[in-house]
Structure 1
Amino acid sequence: MQNQLRAGLLLGAALLLGSALPQAPVFAATASSDAHVTAPAKKAGASSIKADASSKKADASAKKSGKPKAAAGKSKDGSKSAANKSKSTRKSAQKDAEDQKPGKLADFGSDAAPDDVVHVANWVSYTRNNRKKAFVVIDKKNAELYVFAPDGKLKSHAPILLGKAVGDDSAPGIGSKPLSQIAENEKTTPAGRFLARPGKNNHGENIIWIDYDAAVSMHRMRKVSEEERRAERMASPEKDDNRISNGCVNVPHAFYDRVLRPAVLKYGAYIYVLPETRTPQQQFGSYDVEKRVLAQAAESGA
């Protein structure tokens, strides 16, 4: 009986010992596994947390600095810029189309003018050759100057004095010659199209340059000498005696101050000096606008 009891006790102890022995390595392995796996995991977790914190900090910094808003603003500004550019392009195209349309014929009102003056003024206005500036037509044959507004409407006209010699070209180097060295046949008023340039002469007087290089300008009539009788020549109905200057165009004082100079200063101006040794067509490449308009009207009517 005692032996059975003892055997039972030994068996129970053995069972207890057997159940304890397998579990010890498991707990050891788990502990070891935690030591080698969870430590790097914790390190990675710490790095992750740190990275998250850095990311949040960067986001906060970016938000604070307004960079995302700036980027959005830039995109908006870019869109506005593109829209403005497109609008500007459309306006430019419309302007070009408008400029290509024929203008009106010159408007002389109730004033009569020689054929060549009408021809050139019509051509300038119709073709917009004056580029939205006022324009001046100088008729050398009849010693008369005409001032037009940019729209081709005649503002006024007046008699003038001009170059003593007949001719349409300036002598080479004429602009650098002293007056005493200019020959009589070199005292011409050159024909052509010129951009008016307000300026002053060497006496400080206001003038309007026709051809600066050739030293040809429009200015108030000057009294040079009694023998020249410039005021009498200007008032005379005869045109031949208006040829008296070295090449410049002398204009009545009141007309220069009230009509010519204000128009040039306000609008800018092109000057068309009509030729006297060739035709306007040869000089400017002009054509009879009235005939063309009538021909076009007939074609459209047919």
Structure 2
Amino acid sequence: MGLVALATTSQGAAQSAPTATPAPASTPARFGTQTVSDDARATADWVATSHDNQSLPFLIIDKVNAVVFAFDGSGSLRGTAPALLGMAHGDASVPGIGQRKLATILPAERTTPAGRFKASLGQDFEQDILWIDYDAALSLHRVIVGRRVDNRAGRLASPTPSDNRISYGCVNVPPGFYDGVVKPLFTGTVGIVYILPETKPLRSVFAIPTGAAN
């Protein structure tokens, strides 16, 4: 993504160089005053400076801290919210889990996988959701009511991430965040979702240069 090389002729005559197309500005992601983990900041800065998002909107999901950051294509933070995540700790989906019935998925298999995903809005049981990995049945959606004992809304509202592991793997967020931030960002376009690892080193999942993350 550098500048276009200057043109010459076989006769060696001086020619006007074509207008170079400047590369997109490489600036760190802008979090403002938002508190953010070192891994989330390193990932956001890498995305913004490397243009890995290809100017598409993107989300960063920090599983350790159970929080979602939403950015527009230029790397500006558009919103953040707590999230509910897979009950089991881990960074990979069980093979074939997207084709299984929920009742057959064991607690140890209920992971939210880490990685880079191309995401788009879609439908599931007459509700619009953000599909992160369709084949693995992984999505981000408004928090569901679920069983009363699960108290999903209460878990989202709690001040710590210690009780946010309850889902089968999908990412549950507050309805206001989904409707006011995620849905507008992804309407009419695809986007990128970066789910940070919790059991693997950050740079084993994303191509972040050495020294960019603690």
Q: TM-score range by the shorter chain?
A: 0.7 to 0.9
Task: Give the match for residue 69 of structure 2.
Answer: 146
1:268 lines up with 2:195 in the alignment: no
CA RMSD in angstroms comes to 1.8
- Give the Å deviation of 1:268: 3.1
Task: Give the match for residue 259 of structure 1.
Answer: 181
- Give the Å deviation of 1:264: 1.2
For 2:161, the aligned partner's letter is K
Task: Give the match for residue 157 of structure 1.
Answer: 80
Query: Would you tell me which structure has more helix in proportion to its own residues?
Result: 1
Normalised TM-score (structure 1):
0.62
Normalised TM-score (structure 2):
0.87
Uncovered stretches (5+) of structure 1, i.e. residues with no partner: 1-89, 292-302
How is 1:106-255 mapped onto 2 (pairs within 5 angstroms)? 106-201=29-124, 203-255=125-177
Q: Secondary structure at the match of 1:254?
A: helix
Query: Rg bigger for which structure?
Result: 1
Conservation of the 8 A alpha-carbon contact between 1:162 and 1:248? yes
For 1:212, the aligned partner's letter is Y
Which consecutive segments of 4 or more residues in structure 1 shift more than 6 A? Answer: none
In structure 2, what is the Cα distance between the partners aligned to 1:133 and 1:288? 25
Uncovered stretches (5+) of structure 2, i.e. residues with no partner: 1-17
Corresponding residue pairs, total? 196
- Give the Å deviation of 1:98: 2.0
Query: Would you tell me which structure has more strand in proportion to its own residues?
Result: 2
In structure 2, what is the Cα distance between the partners aligned to 1:256 and 1:117? 20
- Give the Å deviation of 1:240: 1.6
Q: Secondary structure at the match of 1:259?
A: helix
- Give the Å deviation of 1:238: 2.0
Q: Secondary structure at the match of 2:44?
A: helix
In structure 2, what is the Cα distance between the partners aligned to 1:269 and 1:127? 16
Q: Percent of counterpart pairs with the same letter?
A: 42
For 2:153, the aligned partner's letter is A
For 1:287, the aligned partner's letter is P
Higher RCO by CA contacts (8 Å cutoff, separation 6 or greater): 2
Conservation of the 8 A alpha-carbon contact between 1:218 and 1:248? yes
Q: Secondary structure at the match of 1:196?
A: strand
Per-residue deviation, residues 261-295 of structure 1 (Å, max 9, x unmatched)? 1111155310000000112211112125769xxxx
In structure 2, what is the Cα distance between the partners aligned to 1:181 and 1:271? 27
For 1:205, the aligned partner's letter is Q
Per-residue deviation, residues 148-178 of structure 1 (Å, max 9, x unmatched)? 1111111110001010000000001100000
